[in-house]
Amino acid sequence: MAIQGVMRPGHFQMRVLDLEASVRFYTEVLGLIETGRDKQGRVYFKAWDERDHHSLILRGAGQAGVDFIGFKVTDKQTLDRLEADLNAYGVKTERISAGELLETGERVRFEIPTGHLVELYAEKSHVGNGISYLNPDPWAPAAEKGIAPIRYDHCLLYGPDIDGARKIFCEVLGFYLVEHVLLEDGESDLGIWLSCSNKAHDIAFVRHPEPGKLHHVSFLLESWEKVLRAADICSMHRVKLDFGPSRHGATRGTTIYAFDPSGNRFETFSGGYQTYPDIRPITWSSEEAGAAVYYHDRKLNERFLSVVT
């Protein structure tokens, strides 16, 4: 097995204002599958082609935003090793016991310098994707309900010290820089796109004065046509689009941005290139930062830089 250490983004806990309205939204519009509810009242979802028990967790709260994001690591030994590596690097960690999240093993939680809580875990119950592992069909009926993304893919987080976050991800957790957008000084970064796999990004950050903010949580679709279909479904449900259907310059993904009923921005996207750790990072100059985000408009709008939860 070549993918070792941190394998992929695995879960994302988000705060929503009206829990039941949000459950309807994420099942009927997004087309995610509800997989459980816990004693704290949190609701768990997976995308149809994900095999593990859940990827999105919603918690009812007075303010929208992100509670924490989790990455799945190869195995328990890797979890122990990465915790020791984080501690040796000066990052304090906390162990959260198995079962605190439904069907999930022990988690190692730490705060990164952008003010976000990040977790690593090695175990989550397998529930499958509704397709057999023997002589499978290409898709299940759930692949046609709502927008029906394949999986939770990444998130874009906003916070002050993105350089400190990048160091932890790249120097301790094995991520690498894929693309970055420079500020006017031509040296420091406005935004960074990091990968732990051969995806163009597994997480991204934009520099922002307030800590712990969410710009968007993103779900993967199979094709540009499905991005258009996602925009159609949003319009059918009177869900306001923030952007698109269009293309990002950075990562080349085709995309729409829209808002859930609590104002959390989500993305459904397709495409983007595959990369490897030996490929040189792509740089966007500050003058072309607009094209990095909105490739056709080539201008950053105020919402991209300021509307976060």
Catalytic residue list: 154, 201, 216, 248, 257, 267
Contacting range for Fe ion; rule: CB under 5 A; set: 80-88, 157-165, 264-272, 279-287: 264-272
- Both tokens of residue 204? 């991204």
Q: Candidates 218, 246, 254, 262: give the one binding Fe ion (CB under 5 A).
A: 218
Residue span binding Fe ion (CB under 5 A) among the ranges 42-50, 69-77, 182-190, 214-222? 214-222
We find the least distance from the C-beta atom of residue 255 to Fe ion, in angstroms, to be 7
Q: How far is the CB of 156 from Fe ion (least distance, A)?
A: 5
**Are the C-beta atoms of residues 254 and 245 closer than 8 Å to each other?**
yes
User: How many residues bind to Fe ion according to rule CB under 5 A?
Assistant: 2
Shortest CB 39 distance to Fe ion, Å? 33
Q: By C-alpha distance, which of 305, 288, 204, 209 is closest to 251?
A: 204
Q: Which is nearer to Fe ion, 106 or 267 (CB)?
A: 267
Greatest extent of the chain over all pairs of C-alpha atoms, in Å: 56
Residues contacting residue 66 through CB under 8 Å, at least 6 positions apart: 12, 13, 14, 15, 116, 155, 157, 212, 213, 214, 217, 309
> What distance in Å separates the CA atoms of residue 149 and residue 46, rounded to the nearest whole number?
10
CA distance 268 to 91: 33
3-state SS class at 180 = strand
Mark the segment that binds Fe ion (CB under 5 A) among 50-58, 63-71, 115-123, 213-221. 213-221
Three-state SS for 237?
A: coil
User: Out of 168, 196, 267, 282, which residue is the one contacting Fe ion (CB under 5 A)?
Assistant: 267
Asked whether 119 and 72 are in contact (CB, 8 A), the reply is no
Question: Do strands 43-46 and 33-37 pair parallel, antiparallel, or not at all (unpaired)?
Answer: antiparallel
Name the segment binding Fe ion (CB under 5 A); options: 28-36, 83-91, 173-181, 263-271.
Answer: 263-271
Peptide bond into 277 cis (omega under 30): no
Q: CB-based contacts of 80: which residues, under 8 Å, 6+ apart?
A: none
Based on the shown chain and the rule CB under 5 A, indicate whether residue 179 belongs to the binding site for Fe ion. no
Q: Rule CB under 5 A: is residue 275 a binding residue for Fe ion?
A: no
Which residue's CB is nearer to Fe ion, number 53 or number 248? 248
Does 270 contact Fe ion by CB under 5 A?
A: no
Q: For residues 254 and 269, is the Cβ–Cβ distance under 8 A?
A: yes
254 contributes a contact to Fe ion by CB under 5 A: no
Q: Is 104 in the site for Fe ion (CB under 5 A)?
A: no
Q: With binding defined as CB under 5 A, does residue 153 bind Fe ion? A: no
Instruction: Decide whether 107 or 215 has the Cβ nearer to Fe ion.
Output: 215
Q: Is 246 in the site for Fe ion (CB under 5 A)?
A: no
User: Which amino acid, one-letter code, is at 305?
Assistant: L
119 is a contact residue toward Fe ion (CB under 5 A): no
Tell me the residue number closest to Fe ion, measured at CB: 218
- Chain contacts with Fe ion (rule: CB under 5 A): 218, 267
